[in-house]
Structure 1
C-alpha cells in the first residue's frame, strides 16, 4: 500500500536524539542556538559513495534545479554536501538539514549517520519498507528543519525519492517562503497599509522602506528603491467578464502595464514583456481561490532595463472582480532570486476584505 506524504508524516514517530520527556525537550530547546545561514541553504549529510551514485543523482534532481524564469541561472537551494564524520556544531546549526541513510551501506560515513538513529527506529526501518522519511523541527537549533531520508537499500530509497519528488522539495520551498515573509513582516509601513485598506476592498502588507508610488481606484503600485536594485509590486482590479482571461494572462498584463506603468515625463516609454521568452503559467490555489501563476521576463519598452516578474490572476466571485497582482524586480548584473522571493512574500500577504472572501 502506498501512503501519501502527509499520512506518512502522521504515522512516523521516531526519537532520533535528545530527551524523551516533555520537560527535557523544553529544557533542551531553551539552551539551543538560533538556526543560522541563508534561508535556502541545505546541509546534506550523506555517504560520499551514495552521493556519487543514484541516490545523489536523484537528490540533485530534487534540490539542485534552477529557479524558472530568472535572467541568470540560480539554484533554488544552495546544497552543501558534508562528510558525516566532519559534522560539527556550526554545521548542525543550519536552518535546513538532510540526513540520508540506507541499511545496506556499511562504510564508516554511513555508520556515522546511523548514530543519529535509535536502535528501535533502525529495526522499524528494517521491518517496514513503506516508511522512508521523518521530519524534525528544532533538532539542533531553534528555527531549524531536519529531514531524515532512509530505506533498506539505495534502490528502494531512489524509488521513494522519485515518487515523492514534489513533496520533498516543497518542504523546504515552503520553509524558505515562510522565513522570507516573517522577516518582511517584522516591520511595516502601517500608515500605507491602513491607507490601502481604506481605499480598496483588500489589504496587502507594505514592508518598511517601501513607498506607495500610485494609488488609483483600481490600481496601486508599491515600490522600493535602493542603490543597486528596484523592487515593485502592483495590484490591478477590474470587471470580470469571462474565464478566457486565464488563457491570455500575457495580454492582460500588457493592457495593464501599458496603461498604468508609463514614464510620467516620457509617456511613450512603458513596462512591457520580453516577447522572445514565453510566459510560464501554472494553475494554483491562491487564498483558497483558483488562480493562474505566471512567470516571465519584463523590459522597459525602449530596452533600457528589464528583469523577472511573478504574478497571480484570480477572481473575487462575490463581486465579479478580476484581480491581477504582480511583483517584478530590477537589479542589473546581479543575482535576483532573493529579490524575487521578497516580492513573492509581499504578494502572499494580499487578502480580500471579509465581505469579498469566499464563504464569508
Structure 2
C-alpha cells in the first residue's frame, strides 16, 4: 500500500515505484509481479487502510529521511517512510534502496507466513529422511507424505479450492555429497534432473520430471540457517508429457557434514497464478534448521 499524493502517483515518482516493486517474478509461467502495488492519497489513508500489512509512505520535506517502523497501526505491520525535498530526490532514494525495500517487505511476509504455519505444523520427527539428515522444517499440516525413503522426502498439498483444485504444491528434501564448493551453482540443474529421473515419475514408463529445456533457470545467492546457499527459480516439465510448472530450489552448502542439503518446492496449478504457492514454499524452506 503506497501512501502518496495523486500527482506523485501519476507522475515520475509513481512510475519509479511501479517499476521498482512491480517487477515480474522470474521462473513463473505467467507474468506475475514480485510485489502487488496499490496507492492511496494521504487524505484517504483511513483506519481501514492503516490495517495494511506493508505500507510505503512518501512525503516531501526539507530533510531527507529513510525510516522503517514495525507495528505502528496494526500487527504485524511494516512501514517504510521516504522523505525528500523534491521528486528527483525521492526517486533517487527509491532507486538506491530498491532491493533493500523489497527485501524488507518480503522478509516481513516470510515471518508472517511462518507464524501461521507454526500454528498448524506437522510433527517433522515422523519423517525418516529429515531425521537421518538432521533437519527440521516448519511444514503446515495440509501437506501429506508421498515418499520418505530415509534419503529422499516428497510431501504434497493437494490444492482444493477454485480453478486450481486439480493441482498440487510439492516439497522435496534430500542431500548429495559436496564435491567442489566452487561449482555448486553450475551443478544444480544436473542434480535436480538426476533426482527427478530417480524419484518423480510421470504417468507412463519413461516419463519423469526434468528442468524445462526451453527456459534457463535463474540462480541467486541466498542464506539458509546461516549457511551459504543458492536460490534457483525455473520451470519443470515431465519428459514426453504436457505437465509443467514453476520450481524453487534451495541448495545449501553444509560444510560441517560435507554435503549439499537440497530443499525444492514445485507447483502444478494449471490456469491460475502461482506466485502465492511458490511464496509458501519459500517460507517453508527458510524455516530449515540443520544439525
TM-score (normalised: structure 1): 0.74
RMSD of aligned residue pairs (Cα, Å): 1.8
Q: Which residue of 1 aligns with 2:176?
A: 238
- The one of 269, 272, 296 aligned to 2:234: 296
Shift in CA distance, 307/260, structure 1 to aligned 2, threshold 3 Å: same
- The one of 3, 6, 15 aligned to 1:57: 15
- The one of 38, 47, 56 aligned to 1:80: 38
Aligned counterparts, 1:124-139, within 5 A: 126=62, 129=63, 131-139=64-72
Q: Which is greater in Rg?
A: 1
Query: Secondary structure at 1:79's aligned position in 2?
Result: coil
Aligned counterparts, 1:11-22, within 5 A: none
Q: Distance in 2 between matches of 1:142 and 1:293?
A: 29
Gaps of 5+ in 2: none
- Kindly provide the CA deviation profile for residues 226-267 of structure 1, in whole angstroms up to 9, marking residues without a partner as x: 33120111112122222323212111111111111124x734
Q: Which residue of 2 aligns with 1:259?
A: 198
Q: Which residue of 1 aligns with 2:98?
A: 165
- Kindly provide the CA deviation profile for residues 183-213 of structure 1, in whole angstroms up to 9, marking residues without a partner as x: 22211121x4343453332222331121121
Give the conservation status (yes or no) of the 8 Å contact 2:217–2:233: yes
Q: Which residue of 2 aligns with 1:117?
A: none
Query: Secondary structure at 2:120's aligned position in 1?
Result: coil
Q: Which residue of 2 aligns with 1:4?
A: none
Query: Secondary structure at 1:78's aligned position in 2?
Result: coil
- The one of 267, 270, 274 aligned to 2:208: 270
Q: Once the 2 structures are TM-superposed, how far is the Cα of residue 80 of structure 1 from its aligned partner?
A: 1.4
Q: Once the 2 structures are TM-superposed, how far is the Cα of residue 271 of structure 1 from its aligned partner?
A: 0.9
Q: Distance in 1 between matches of 2:276 and 2:25?
A: 11
Query: Secondary structure at 2:252's aligned position in 1?
Result: strand
Give the conservation status (yes or no) of the 8 Å contact 1:236–1:256: no
Give the conservation status (yes or no) of the 8 Å contact 2:228–2:252: yes
- Kindly provide the CA deviation profile for residues 73-100 of structure 1, in whole angstroms up to 9, marking residues without a partner as x: 1122221111222222211211122211
Q: Once the 2 structures are TM-superposed, how far is the Cα of residue 166 of structure 1 from its aligned partner?
A: 1.0
- Asked if 1:308 corresponds to 2:246, the answer is yes
TM-score (normalised: structure 2): 0.91
Q: Once the 2 structures are TM-superposed, how far is the Cα of residue 59 of structure 1 from its aligned partner?
A: 1.2
- The one of 132, 139, 156 aligned to 2:89: 156
- The one of 324, 328, 345 aligned to 2:266: 328
- Asked if 1:204 corresponds to 2:137, the answer is yes
Gaps of 5+ in 1: 1-42, 104-125, 354-360
- Kindly provide the CA deviation profile for residues 48-90 of structure 1, in whole angstroms up to 9, marking residues without a partner as x: 1122222222211222111111111112222111122222221
Aligned residues: 284
Shift in CA distance, 69/159, structure 1 to aligned 2, threshold 3 Å: same
Q: Once the 2 structures are TM-superposed, how far is the Cα of residue 339 of structure 1 from its aligned partner?
A: 0.5
Q: Which residue of 1 aligns with 2:24?
A: 66
Q: Which residue of 2 aligns with 1:146?
A: 79
Give the conservation status (yes or no) of the 8 Å contact 1:218–1:238: no
Stretch moving more, 72-81 or 240-249: 240-249
Q: Once the 2 structures are TM-superposed, how far is the Cα of residue 317 of structure 1 from its aligned partner?
A: 1.3
Q: Distance in 1 between matches of 2:254 and 2:70?
A: 37
